[in-house]
Amino acid sequence: MDSNSDPCFGFAFNNVQFSDRLLRIEITNGGEITNVDSVQDRKRRRTDVNTSAVDGENEKVCNPPAPRVTELHISSPILAAQSPFFYKLFSNGMIESEQNHVTLRIEASEEAAVMELLKFMYTNSLSSVTDVPALFRVLMAADKFEVASCMKYCTRSLLNIPMTLPYASFILRLPWPLLVADSVKPLTNVAKHFLIMHFNDITKLPPEELTALPLVGIMTLLMSNDLMITCEDIVYEVVLKWAKANSSVLEERQGILNHLAPYIRFPYMTCHRLKKILTSDDFELSVAHKLVFEALFFKAESSLAHQAAIKADSHDRRFIERGYTCRPIKTVEFEVPHRQCIVYLDLTRKECNALYPSNRIYSQKFHLGGKEFLLSPCCNKDQQNRFHHFGLFLWSQEKGTSVSVTVDYEFSSRWKPTQEFAIRRKGKYKFTGVQSIGFRDVLGAPWASFIGEDSPYFINDLLHLRAELSIRL
């Protein structure tokens, strides 16, 4: 119902000449009230309603505070036209619908909002409600009494207020049925969009801002595919801090994490972090095993199977890759006959094109021999500075450590038509700090041949790379 085009019946508000009923509003400050003839809301418990003709036989009051009473002359057709709640009240054939006197019980905290709501049902305006808290109170009253036109009016008014972090957080703390109501969704969407933009780089904001978010707020961030983060490990650490800040009880915290688990992309976390989950008390052991094994199974699948899984499970965000600043990898680790790590890195043709003429990207970190490593694909010119080539380097990232390891490494890529991995380069290097080793031309082909449509290196527009690292004593 559009309040801009609806007629105004302000002249009839609380006017006995244009009213057919008397609304008796009892305003209480609390107390347990039970009314067997109360009208029940289809979504949640509604305000108890009974007629003034009932002599108390149907009502039981336990230690009630003395209510204040306000009486208004009302027009049942006007209220019924605006609200299914009042329509059912006046037309359901129960005793309430046959009486000229109707009693409505509300809490004292609702009084101002309910009075404004009743005026709105006559005037289609809230001219005297200007501040944000009052608008929200009227919005909640309108939801309670099913006045959709007032909900839309409040939403439009609230959308005109500049969004801030406290404002967005307040919106997302609204009761869930109200939060997802059609008329409130535009406001909810703006608040969610603000949070995603504000927390786009979650590593550069005060931790207290994140931990102060409501549950719906943290869920909103987890559902975003565009967070500026290196890997999913960072997201998990944020969720863990949020859960610990909002619950000091282990069982409650585990319940919160269980609720948030479907929004965490476990398949894109590093194996190092997944192992930590298995030995922590973040989840119950059975839940941790399920999440980690499911993630490891996904990592073990081939790229074609990955695409099929993503297509089949597009509704499940766990299997959808975010826009990580570091490319996800798949790793397989061995301890015998010697410490060994096999790392798989897939790049799309678009990602490879973006490397030209002198850019590089970094993979997620992985561990071997007590050190952190990463792979770095790049585009650079050969030593004669003539032709561009696709390069691949292995970086050691462990700073301030005395650990040194000698690593045997092999770089491989899949190759048409066999689609099997073929070794492109290999070598040995002793890492003692932050260092890198690799090849400017790892594939042995100029850039144009590498990136061309008939390139043998791309299979379904994916470049499949493998790095096999070993530490031999």
* pLDDT per residue as tens digits for the range 31-54: 433 332 333 333 333 334 333 333
CATH class, 326-471 region: mainly beta
Chain centroid to Cα 361, Å, comes to 27
The predicted model scores a pTM of: 0.75
Classified as helix, coil or strand, 431 is strand
- Which bin fits 369, alpha (ψ -120 to 50), beta or left (φ > 0)? left
The residue among 468, 299, 471, 301 whose CA lies nearest residue 392 is 468
Q: Does 239 or 302 have the greater pLDDT score?
A: 239
What local confidence, expressed as pLDDT, does residue 101 receive? 78
What local confidence, expressed as pLDDT, does residue 6 receive? 66
Q: In Å, what is the CA distance from 350 to each residue of 26, 226, 345, 425, 452?
A: 67, 17, 15, 24, 12
The answer on pLDDT for 55 being more than 90 is no
Task: List residues bridging with 123 in a β-sheet.
Answer: none
Residue 21 corresponds to which tokens in the numbers above? 């009923």
* pLDDT bucket at 346, cuts 50 / 70 / 90: very high
Q: Which CATH number fits domain 10-161: 3.30.710.10, 3.30.1330.40, 3.40.120.10, 1.25.40.420?
A: 3.30.710.10
* pLDDT bucket at 141, cuts 50 / 70 / 90: very high
The length of the chain, given as a count of residues: 473
- Cβ atoms of 386 and 380 closer than 8 Å: no
CA dihedral 71, 73, 77, 80 (to 10 degrees): -20
Rounded distance, CA 275 to CA 220, Å? 27
Question: DSSP for 403-455?
Answer: --EEEEEEEEEEETTTTEEEEEEEEEEEE-SS-EEEESSSSSSBHHHHHSTT-
- What are the extents of the domains in the chain? 10-161, 199-319, 326-471
Q: What is the CATH number of domain 199-319?
A: 1.25.40.420
* pLDDT bucket at 334, cuts 50 / 70 / 90: confident
The residue among 65, 67, 39, 64 whose CA lies nearest residue 51 is 39
Q: Span 373-401, mean pLDDT?
A: 86
Residue 228 corresponds to which tokens in the numbers above? 């500026």
What local confidence, expressed as pLDDT, does residue 248 receive? 92
The answer on pLDDT for 129 being more than 50 is yes
Rounded distance, CA 370 to CA 403, Å? 7
How does pLDDT run across 57-115, given as a tens digit for each residue? 444 445 666 788 899 999 999 999 999 999 888 886 545 545 677 888 899 999 999 99
What local confidence, expressed as pLDDT, does residue 53 receive? 32
Residue 205 corresponds to which tokens in the numbers above? 């904001």
The residue among 170, 217, 224, 219 whose CA lies nearest residue 201 is 224
Please list the alpha-helical segments (H only) found in 301-413: 303-312, 349-353
Q: Is the peptide bond preceding residue 417 cis, with omega within 30 degrees of 0?
A: yes
Q: Give the rounded percent of residues in the chain with a pLDDT score beyond 90.
A: 59
Rounded distance, CA 336 to CA 339, Å? 6
The answer on pLDDT for 116 being more than 60 is yes
- Cβ atoms of 80 and 91 closer than 8 Å: yes
What local confidence, expressed as pLDDT, does residue 308 receive? 46
The residue among 330, 339, 306 whose CA lies nearest residue 465 is 330
- Cβ atoms of 114 and 86 closer than 8 Å: no
The answer on pLDDT for 273 being more than 80 is yes
What local confidence, expressed as pLDDT, does residue 59 receive? 45
- Cβ atoms of 327 and 359 closer than 8 Å: no
